[in-house]
Structures are given as structure tokens and as C-alpha cells.
Structure 1
């Protein structure tokens, strides 16, 4: 738990961009979907298309939400790790904090998507959630930043991409059934892989409809977090010339987008596999978003109309956990059930809106009290 006064030295753009990402995830998108279904207006279909994941090959706006979450984790690391790096002659104090965070994120991920609270081992899923990808990517990025110079950090990051690319290219294809990453998940996770369904005779099978991969994709999760760390390093070391920081972030973003599109000619952009081309493409978009927010907020000093996003950004893990696990619709229904007779088919829209409004009010109260839950 941290107090607000301890966070005054933070770059506002980091918290606001992270908050923007979480606001999209735990307010805007779910409310937009239920509202659009109720309105049933054809022109909204194009918007809804961008607020859903690509089925396989390609990239939509909604496919950027998870990479941005990982990227922002990395962007904060040069600031957070500098507090502990070199404090004593031993790395154990900083690794103790890192391992604690990794363990908590992994457990939280199992609570959100791994059926941990179901208390049923048959449906327990080990590795299947955004928080767990953050945990693995964060650990890899932390090791790289603690033990390598900047030049070697770039080299190791490129090596991770090469390690990912080699078997994906030569030991499989890029189809849902034939890709190498899916075979690794099936072999290592077995019945603890997401998408497993149980038959009446007690046997289990892999669902052909579940196409996300995690274990081999951890290599590119680490790359995404490292890209964020590079952005954080640029901002941390360029605070005396913020205009130059904007230029570097923008150029880096454009270069990464170009490289990602070029690589997609050989390795398709597939978010469900977190392919190398998708990693560079999404990383480039993240750099461009970071440049935009940094320019407007930290360089120009404009926060009016945006500061409220810190409510999400400074309690991002709490926002994600509550938004994904706790159903506040029950609270809304308990105190507003009388509205159903007047709202009719709009009542479910109200319950969805109220669900995420209650979450926002809780996060806002925590923000006002200076209560920030960290892992």
C-alpha cells in the first residue's frame, strides 16, 4: 500500500495511459457492446468489429489492449527497479520483491481465468490469463535489466525473438492446428490447459476452438515488456529534453510498425500466438501511443479532462481483478430492481453500466484516500 504523496514524482503520462487501457477494458468495451446490441444500429457494427479480437490472422484495435498492458508494465520498470538496484551488494532483496510479484500475479491470473475459486481440480487451468503473461514477461525483463547493459539488453531481446521464430517457422506452420506453440502447450500443460473439456466417461479432450498459446509465447511476452522498458528508459533519461523524447518515441514506434508489417510477409500477425510480427507491430503502436500521451501530458502539461484516468491507472491490477471477478450487478439489481418495469429491455444495459460505475466509484474512493494496492 502506497500513499499519494509518494507518487508525485511519477510521470503522469504513464499512469494516464495505463488508466486509459484499463478504462477500455473494464468500462468502455463491455458497456459499448451491451448498448450497441440494444440500439441495433447497423453503423455500429464496424465499431464493434474493432472492439473484438481478431479470430486468427490480422490485427484489430482491441488486440492492442493486452500488449499495451504488458508494455506499460515494462515502461514503469526503469523507474521502479532503480530504487532497489545496487542498494546492497546482494541481488536477493530485489529478487525477493520480483518473485513475490510474479507469484501474486500468477495466482491472481488463476483466480480470474483459471477457475481457482471453483475448487474443482478437473477444471483448474494453470496458465491462461493476461496477468500471468505479465508475470512471466516482467520476470524475464527484470532479469535482463538487472544483469545486462543497455546494449546487451537490446541483444537479448532480439535473441528472444530469434528463439521464438526458429521452431515456429521450421517445426510447424501458422495454422491453429499445426503451430509449434500450441503443441508445446498441449504437451506441457495437458489437462490443465485452457479449453479442455471433460467427457461423461471421465476422459478429457482439447477443444479445437481454443487457439491461444502461452508457454512458448512467453518469449514474446518478455519482448513486449522489454519494449516498454526501453520506452521507460528513454523517458527517464530524457527528462531534461522532453521534446527529444517525443521524437525518439515516435520514430521508434514508426520503425517497429514498419518492421512488424515487413515481418508479417513471412510470419503472420497473429495475436493469439503472440507472433514476432505481432509483437513488433503492437509494440510500435504502443510506442506511438506513449509518444502521444507523453507529448500532451508531460511535455505540454495538459491533464485537464484526463487526470481521472489515474483512478484506473494507479490501481490497475485492482481494477482488472475487480472488473473480471466481482459482479457488482447484484448490488445494482438489489437497489434498482424497481426500474425494470420502466426501463424494459434497457434494464440489462443499466445493470451493465451500473456494474462498472460501482467499480469506478470504488477505485475513485481508493484514489481519493491515497490507497494504492501494489503487488
Structure 2
């Protein structure tokens, strides 16, 4: 089994990775939690084809999963046996998958006959598992080959494999091959929508390609000489973005389908954004602005869970305002930001909720630390 080994000078956690992840977490909460239905267009997901700012959040997450996986496994080389590495990988994947299932059923969807099986964390769990297993057992060249085969095969199947009742090349929500496979493998009651699931089975394969781009980026950071790392990363970002943009003319850039063009387009943007953070933070040492984003990035899973749970509870809780019954989210938006235009009020609520989530987690960690100290001191 082969796992890349970190050079001695690189055996530290990249601050830029935590910060980039933290920026993505903050953007994710803002995108997921608008105060009303009249958000600014760039904070809404594209209706189908296309790629808005909101559509970058998930692929950026998967990209960072790939980068983190290589660093984590490299740091474990020599300390853990192959069996221990595999145990950790499978354990983390299962925990992520179960956390995703919990969010699907919380707070009042515990009926097994309608439980949605897929989801964001479930896709992350699968992509992490595959990327980690490949990182443990293959070379980076083989990873590049596997990723390329996945993207090309996915394009060929999606565009040229005939779907019963619709034919080949129909990429509409109900007629595309990915939706057909979801309906074939998963009962409609367990899908996000009756006709398709944006985190479905077949579309998870190219999402693995996004994660492998993160792995490849990490290997460039580990293998390349310091003076050539940024040049290599920026060049790769440019090439991937251009290929993805061009591919989009025959296989449209589409988040729900996780099209091959979407993988390369967003992968190029992710590498560019991460490289920019790496240059500013880890090379130029411009770190004064990083603290809050580092906290968000180091607690990404906790913040994801907390913001989803809080959002669902807000929809359940209702208040009276001017003779209307409003859920907590709408009530807070109208009460606090009703004097602003609807899009601005929606954004201000989302930013406030993002800050609230971070504050709650910080207070919890601080309180937990103090309680732990009080309990531990007498011993």
C-alpha cells in the first residue's frame, strides 16, 4: 500500500485550507438560509443549466475533502498500519453518512417508508471513502486516469445512452439518465423529488472526480518545489476551467446532474481560489483577517449540522405579526430587516444567522472547555 509522505517542512496543518473551508462554510449558510424568497440572483442556485456563486459551495467542499484526505493520510504514514487506516476511513464515512440520514429525518420525518436516503453529507461520505481508498492503494497518476475515465464515461452515458420513453441525450430533469437510474434503484418516496434526486446514485460518480481534483492539488503542493507550486496550480486551474467551459457547449454545466463540464469548471475555480488563499496566507503570511474563517473551517461539520437543525426548527416555530402567523425565520426577517428592500433584508438575515451559528458554537466550545477544566483540576 502506498501513501504519499509529507516532507518534514510541510508537516503542519495548512492555515489556508482551514480558511478556504471556512469561507465556503460561511457562504454555504448564507446561501442556504435566505430571509425570504427574493434573494439576490447570485445567491440562488441555477434553475437547471448554468453555475451561480451558490452552485460553487458543494464542489468546493468536495474539493477540500480531497485535499484534506491526502494530507491526513500522508501524516498518518508510519504511525498507523494499513488496517488502522482503513478502519478510520470507513468509520468516518459511516459517521458522515449517518449524520446525513439524521438531518433527513429531523425533526419529524421518522417514517422509514419515506426516508430520503441520499443527501449532501451522504455524498461527501461516499466521495471521501472512494478518494481515501484510492489514495491509500494507488498512485496519483492512476487517480488522474480513473478521474478522467469517470468524467468521459459519464458524459458518453448521459448524452448517448437511450432512456426508455425519452431516448438519448435528453438532459431535462425527468428524462436524463441519472434521474432514470435513481428511479430504477430507489423508490420514488425515498427521493428528494419524485422524478430525480440532485444527490442521486449516478451523479455521485462525477462528484468523486471533484474530490480527486482536490487529491491531485494536494499532491502538487507536496511534490512540487516551493517556487513552482503556485505556477503549477494556477496553470492547472486555467486549463481545467477552459476545458470545462468548452465542454459545456456539448454537455452543459449543471450542478444537479454534476456534469463533467461542471466538475472541470468548478474544479478550476476551486483550485484558483484555494491557490489564492495559499499565496496570501501561507506564503505572504497575511493572516490577521483569518481567525474567524479558520474557526469556521475547523468546525465545518458542526456548523453544517447546527445551521440545518436551526433552520428546520425556525420553520416549525410560529409567531403572530400584524394578524399573520409567520414562521420564526420570516418573523425575524420582517421584524429586524423589514425596512430594507426584500433582497437586502434577505441577505442581512442570512448573514446574521451565519454569525449567530458561529457565535453559538464558539460559546459552546468555550463553556465546554471551562467545564472540562473544573472537572479535571481536582484529579
Shorter-chain TM-score: what band? 0.7 to 0.9
Q: Does 1:180 align with 2:170?
A: no
Which one of 330, 334, 357 corresponds to residue 355 of structure 2?
357
Going from structure 1 to structure 2, the CA distance change for 1:320 and 1:344 (only over 3 Å counts) comes to: closer
Distance in 2, matches of 1:181 and 1:358, equals 38
User: Aligned partners of 1:63 and 1:340: how far apart in 2?
Assistant: 24
Q: CA, structure 1 residues 87+188, in 2 after alignment: closer, same or farther (shift >3 Å)?
A: same
Distance 1:222 1:152 in 2: 14
The answer for the alignment partner of 2:236 in structure 1 is 252
- Which residue among 175, 179, 198 is the counterpart of 1:212? 198
2:25–2:296 CA contact under 8 A, matched in 1 = yes
Q: Distance in 1 between matches of 2:127 and 2:104?
A: 18
| Aligned-partner Cα distance in 2 for 1:67–1:294 | 18
| Residues 87-166 of structure 1: pairs in structure 2 closer than 5 A | 87=79, 91-113=82-104, 118-127=109-118, 129-166=119-156
| Distance in 2 (alpha carbons) for counterparts of 1:274 and 1:297 | 31
Flag structure 2 segments of 5+ consecutive residues without an equivalent. 1-10, 162-167, 320-331, 370-379
Q: Distance in 1 between matches of 2:189 and 2:235?
A: 42
Aligned residue number for residue 336 of structure 1: none
**Number of the residue aligned with 2:251:** 267
Asked if 2 retains the 8 angstrom alpha-carbon contact of 1:322 and 1:359, the reply is yes
How far is 1:326 from its partner? Answer: 2.6
Answering whether residue 159 of structure 2 is matched by residue 169 of structure 1, we say: yes
TM-align CA RMSD:
3.1
Report what 1:41 is aligned to: none
Q: Tell me by how many angstroms 1:35 deviates.
A: 8.0
Are the equivalent residues in 1 in contact too, given 2:182–2:197 (CA < 8 A)?
Answer: no
Structure-2 separation of matches of 1:340 and 1:226 = 40
| Change over 3 Å in CA distance of 1:326–1:87 after alignment to 2 | same
- 1:155 CA displacement: 1.1
CA positional deviation for 1:346 = 5.9
- Contact kept, 8 Å, 1:105 with 1:131, in 2: the verdict is yes
Give the alignment's TM-score, normalised by structure 2: 0.79
Check 1:259–1:369 CA distance in 2 against 1; reply closer, same or farther (3 A cut): farther
The whole-number CA distance in structure 1 between the counterparts of 2:202 and 2:258 is 9
Distance 1:251 1:316, change over 3 A: same
Contact 2:42 2:54 in 1 (8 A): yes
* Residue in 2 that maps onto 1:60: 52
> Do the aligned partners of 2:104 and 2:116 also contact (CA within 8 Å) in 1?
yes
**Distance of 1:16 and 1:313 partners within structure 2:** 6
Compute the TM-score of the two structures, normalised by the length of structure 1.
0.79
TM-superposed deviation, 1:286? 0.3
- Listed one character per residue, the Cα deviations across residues 241-294 of structure 1 (whole Å, up to 9, x for unaligned) are 1x4222111111010001101211221111100010100101000011011111
Matched, 1:237 2:240: no
Please say if residues 63 and 267 of structure 2, whose CA atoms lie closer than 8 Å, have aligned partners that are also in contact: yes
> Are the counterparts in 2 of residues 136 and 221 from structure 1 also a CA contact under 8 Å?
no
Match of 2:306 among 322, 337, 358: 322
Structure 2 distance, partners of 1:296, 1:137, is 29
Contact 1:15 1:310 in 2 (8 A): yes
Q: CA deviation digits over 1:75-128, x for unaligned, max 9?
A: 11111011334546x52211111111111111111222355862212321111x
Report if the CA contact (8 A) 2:19-2:290 is conserved. Answer: yes
1:267–1:276 CA distance, 2 compared to 1 (3 A): same
Q: Distance in 2 between matches of 1:137 and 1:107?
A: 15
Offset of 1:57 from its aligned partner? 1.0
Q: Structure 1 residues 137, 343: CA separation in 2 closer, same or farther (over 3 Å shift)?
A: closer
Deviation digits for residues 304-346 of structure 1 (CA, Å, limit 9, x no counterpart): 1222101110010001000111357699x9xxxxx99985946
